Structure 1
Amino acid sequence: MDTVSTTQGLAHFLAQSDAVGKTLLALLILMSAASWAIIAGKGVAQYLRQRRSSEFLNHFWNASTLDEVRHEISTHGARDPFSHLSAHALHAQVHHARHGASRLAEAGSASEFVTRTIKKVLDEETTRFESGLTTLATVGATAPFVGLFGTVWGVYHALLAIGMSGAGTLDKVAGPVGEALVMTGIGLAVAIPAVVAYNAFTRSNRVLAGRLDAFAFELHSFLTMGEAPGAGQQQLGASVRPLKPVPQQAQTPASA
């Protein structure tokens, strides 16, 4: 039994495998390396993006004027989607006010020009969010089938070798077939992390895109109307408040 255990295994399977089997294993290794590199890269990028976005939004909503926001962006740069969107929208407002609609790209009113600029930046950020996800989806969908193909190929050659040798006992059949099943296991080990990461990144990107759309609406309102949505109702409520009575010493006779 010890002799059988030492002669069976992945190393023995690779030694007995042909070029097709070794190529499939190399392909699975490359797919695994690519998926883990994307997972690590996007994980770090997502952490930095969330931290920098929180810092910028905290500064944005605590700023008293848009000039403070411009100063913050010019000082620290646009390092997150929200500051990137704000920088382009603020620049579009200033550019249209200074040059007007002198070109086709600037046609329309200031509000329309700012709207197009915000839409363009949102599309750019969405594309950036989705970078690498196609590779993860491809790995998650194809890796099990690549492993299964390796298993079928290995079982086929194992059965041919057993048939040629004429030894059809259980120990002669189970060993090569069990070795071939390792390829299916490797394919699943490559696919599962890719699928889990793809779903996690997709949900995170969807949540971030929703927050960015809401922020874009607020920012557009600031730039085009000079106030946030609902500010008019707040100002109206404040204007109907009763005025304080004027002190007697501040009143003067009409004849004077």
Structure 2
Amino acid sequence: MDSLQQLWAEGDAVIQAVAVLMLLMSVASWVLIGWKTWLLNRVRRDLPGGVQAFWRSADLAAAEQSLAAHDRDGVLQTLVQAARQTTAPGSLEAQVHPHAQLTRRLRDSLHVVLQRLQYGQVVLASVGAVSPFIGLFGTVWGIYHAIAGISAEGSASLERVAGPVGEALIMTAVGLAVAIPAVLAYNLFGKIINQLETDLEGFAHDLREALLGADRPASQDD
């Protein structure tokens, strides 16, 4: 901590800007890590119970009511509401086969849900990829600044060089400290999102088959 304070006090505007940027990146990544941990854990816990409650309901209206109690983040409700939407008469969509209309609505709603679950992944990936290089830049600039100051004093002994250079190397360590949690969280969240995507795609497929199966007798009569 003392070395960081000394580096900040002796650093120029470039070092201070790098330190502030690293702090902002760290805060942003940890806020996202906390929020996404809470969100994805809720969805992962609610999804199995919500699917079971939906299929155990007597009809589609009752299924939507049961989802309200189990699906706290609305990932399943978004799909069900999209499936129940009606097509505006006279529109281009109305000219498409009803099966294709249902498929498109479910696909679009699934994309909306996945975008909500993937929110923040780009930030975590960017922090994990960029922060080590920002820290390295701060180290190089700090070493240059320290050597320039030592050269101006006319003393280049090992004792005079080791202190400032060692303090400048802290920026590389800070960059790694910011990057490692972001990379680990990005990989873990990506794995969870992929599992949730598979479950949601399965639910959307089963919902489509159920609705088409309910309409099939009427279509056969036609």
TM-score (norm 2): 0.88
Q: Distance in 2 between matches of 1:215 and 1:154?
A: 55
Other structure's SS at 1:103 match: coil
Deviations 1:34-61 (A, max 9, x none): 0111111111111222223233112013
Other structure's SS at 1:221 match: helix
Q: Which has the higher contact order (CA 8 A, sep 6+)?
A: 2
Deviations 1:175-196 (A, max 9, x none): 0000000111111100000000
Q: Answer whether contact 1:21 1:154 (CA < 8 A) is retained.
A: yes
Give the root-mean-square deviation of aligned CA atoms.
2.1
Q: Answer whether contact 2:49 2:70 (CA < 8 A) is retained.
A: no
Work out which of the residue numbers 59, 62, 69 in structure 2 matches 1:65: 59
Flag the 1:10–1:148 CA change in 2: closer, same or farther, 3 A: same
Partner of 1:32: 26
Partner of 1:206: 194
Q: Distance in 1 between matches of 2:185 and 2:52?
A: 29
Work out which of the residue numbers 2, 11, 30 in structure 2 matches 1:17: 11
Flag the 1:218–1:148 CA change in 2: closer, same or farther, 3 A: same
Unaligned runs of 5+ in 1: 1-7, 228-256
Q: Distance in 2 between matches of 1:172 and 1:62?
A: 76
Partner of 2:181: 193
Alignment: residue pair count: 214
C-alpha deviation, 1:163, in angstroms? 1.5
Deviations 1:67-92 (A, max 9, x none): 42133347778733222212221x13
Q: Which structure's residues are more often helix, by fraction?
A: 2
Deviations 1:15-46 (A, max 9, x none): 11100100000000000000111111111111
Q: How does 1:142-157 map to 2 (within 5 A)?
A: 142-157=130-145
Q: Answer whether contact 1:146 1:187 (CA < 8 A) is retained.
A: yes
Partner of 2:104: 116
Are 1:46 and 2:55 matched, yes or no? Answer: no
- Structure 1, 69-78 or 157-166: larger mean CA deviation: 69-78
Partner of 1:161: 149
Partner of 1:217: 205
Flag the 1:116–1:133 CA change in 2: closer, same or farther, 3 A: same
Identity %: 36
Q: Answer whether contact 1:53 1:83 (CA < 8 A) is retained.
A: no
Q: Answer whether contact 1:78 1:84 (CA < 8 A) is retained.
A: no
Q: Which contiguous aligned blocks of 4+ residues in structure 1 show a shift greater than 4 angstroms?
A: 73-78
Other structure's SS at 1:224 match: helix
Q: How does 1:117-132 map to 2 (within 5 A)?
A: 117-132=105-120
Work out which of the residue numbers 164, 171, 177 in structure 2 matches 1:176: 164
Other structure's SS at 1:167 match: coil
C-alpha deviation, 1:112, in angstroms? 1.7
Other structure's SS at 1:226 match: helix
Q: Distance in 1 between matches of 2:28 and 2:17?
A: 16
Q: Distance in 1 between matches of 2:6 and 2:71?
A: 57
Q: Distance in 2 between matches of 1:78 and 1:69?
A: 14
Other structure's SS at 2:96 match: coil
Partner of 2:220: none
Flag the 1:114–1:78 CA change in 2: closer, same or farther, 3 A: farther
Q: Distance in 1 between matches of 2:132 and 2:82?
A: 44
Q: Distance in 2 between matches of 1:75 and 1:12?
A: 55
